[in-house]
């Protein structure tokens, strides 16, 4: 078997075309979707992600700004700025880029964001709504993964989905979204014993480990769907996923590449959430 590639880049271009039209309709009603991205400090990877978010916003006509704040900002100063954004009716979406400097408690910051502007879907209110299967902002990477599965009409109901990774941003919520669509979900992580035995049972395998090329065909059942969330930069500068693509492609029926896989979909779902916020999310 040689796997069919699920190209996130192509899918995101298609979705963005529709979003552009939706934004034009909103503008006719004098609503200009606006996203404020808050960047604290000088992390080069964060800066690059934030620039990507601004560029993608502009592509679909969403107005966006990057609020660049000093590494030395205190937690209470940052909360004050978030409160100003909460109260600004021209700001529809607020995203605080993570990670934050260690003197700032991330959870305090996430909880300061108005849940109706929480386009990351990280606020506990929105996490709870997602968990109980209600309409809300879904976190962008998990939402992008689900959209990729839907785009290929991959059956989720009744299937065994295995998620490697249990972060609040990717692992936990993607497992929840798969469960919401009636998959049987197993979470694996750094303390999991017999990882290979479990992943070989997966019909859908989501890999969010954060280490390059750790999952090869030996971990994959013939005919499985493999979603690679990893973005690892090797010493030679190339980007690679957590999955050894060439090897895994021999067993998988579908696979996502890196780059041009989950990454572009994450940004695209952020745009989707910003448009949803502009249309008005009820609390």
Positions marked catalytic: 53, 97, 120
Q: How far is the CB of 135 from ligand GUN (least distance, A)?
A: 20
Q: Under the criterion CB under 6 A, does residue 109 sit at the interface with ligand GUN?
A: no
Count of CB atoms within 10 A of residue 132's CB? 10
Any contact of residue 57 with ligand GUN (CB under 6 A)? no
Least distance in angstroms from the C-beta of 83 to ligand GUN: 18
Give Cα separations from 42 to 19, 47, 100, 108, 124 (angstroms): 31, 7, 10, 21, 27
Cα-atom radius of gyration of the chain, to the nearest Å? Answer: 19
Say how many residues make up the chain: 283
In the bound complex, what is the minimum distance in angstroms from residue 112's beta carbon to ligand GUN? 13
Question: Which is nearer to ligand GUN, 113 or 162 (by Cβ)?
Answer: 113
Whose tokens are 């990454």? That residue is 263
* Binding-residue total with ligand GUN (CB under 6 A): 8
96 contacts ligand GUN (rule: CB under 6 A)? yes
Q: Which residues in 198-217 contact ligand GUN (CB under 6 A)?
A: none
Question: Phi and psi for 102 in degrees, rounded to 5?
Answer: -65, -20
Quick one: which segment of 94-102, 173-181, 257-265, 272-280 binds ligand GUN (CB under 6 A)?
Answer: 94-102
Choose which of 12, 63, 64, 97 interacts with ligand GUN (CB under 6 A). 97
If one asks whether residue 169 binds ligand GUN (CB under 6 A), the answer comes out as yes
**CA proximity to 242, closest of 219, 221, 223:** 219
Pairing state between β 232-233 and 4-5: unpaired
Stretch that binds ligand GUN, among 64-72, 95-103, 220-228, 254-262 (CB under 6 A): 95-103
Q: Which residue has the tokens 């606020």?
A: 123
Site for ligand GUN in 139-158 (CB under 6 A): 140-141
When the beta carbons of 15 and 229 are compared against ligand GUN, the nearer one is: 229
User: Rounded to whole angstroms, how far apart are CA atoms 243 and 62?
Assistant: 34
Contact 86, 261 (CB under 8 A): no
Q: Which residues bind ligand GUN (CB under 6 A)?
A: 95-98, 120, 140-141, 169
């Amino acid at each position: 078997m040689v796997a069919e590639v699920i190209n996130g880049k192509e899918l995101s271009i298609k979705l963005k075309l529709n979003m552009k039209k939706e934004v034009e309709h909103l503008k006719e009603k004098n609503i200009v979707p606006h996203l404020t991205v808050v960047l604290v400090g000088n992390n080069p990877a964060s800066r690059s992600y934030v620039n990507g978010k601004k560029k993608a916003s502009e592509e679909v006509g969403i107005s966006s700004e990057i609020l660049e704040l000093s590494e030395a900002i205190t937690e209470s100063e940052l909360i004050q700025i978030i409160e100003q954004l909460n109260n600004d009716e021209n700001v529809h979406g607020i995203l605080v880029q993570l990670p934050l400097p260690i003197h700032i408690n991330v959870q305090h910051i996430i909880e300061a964001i108005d849940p109706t502007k929480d386009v990351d879907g990280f606020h506990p209110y929105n996490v709870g709504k997602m968990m109980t299967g209600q309409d809300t902002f879904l976190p962008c990477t998990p939402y992008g993964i689900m959209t990729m599965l839907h785009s290929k009409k991959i059956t989720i109901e009744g299937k065994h989905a295995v998620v490697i990774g249990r972060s609040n941003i990717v692992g936990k919520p993607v497992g929840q979204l798969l469960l919401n669509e009636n998959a049987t979900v197993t979470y694996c992580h750094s303390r999991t014993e017999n990882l290979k035995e479990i992943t070989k049972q997966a019909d859908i395998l989501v890999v969010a480990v954060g280490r390059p090329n750790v999952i090869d065909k030996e971990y994959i059942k013939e005919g499985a769907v493999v979603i690679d969330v990893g973005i690892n930069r090797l010493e030679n500068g190339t980007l690679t996923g957590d999955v050894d693509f060439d090897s895994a492609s021999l067993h998988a029926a579908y696979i996502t590449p890196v780059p041009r896989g989950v990454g572009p979909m994450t940004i695209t779902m952020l745009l989707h959430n910003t448009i949803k916020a502009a249309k008005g999310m009820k609390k």
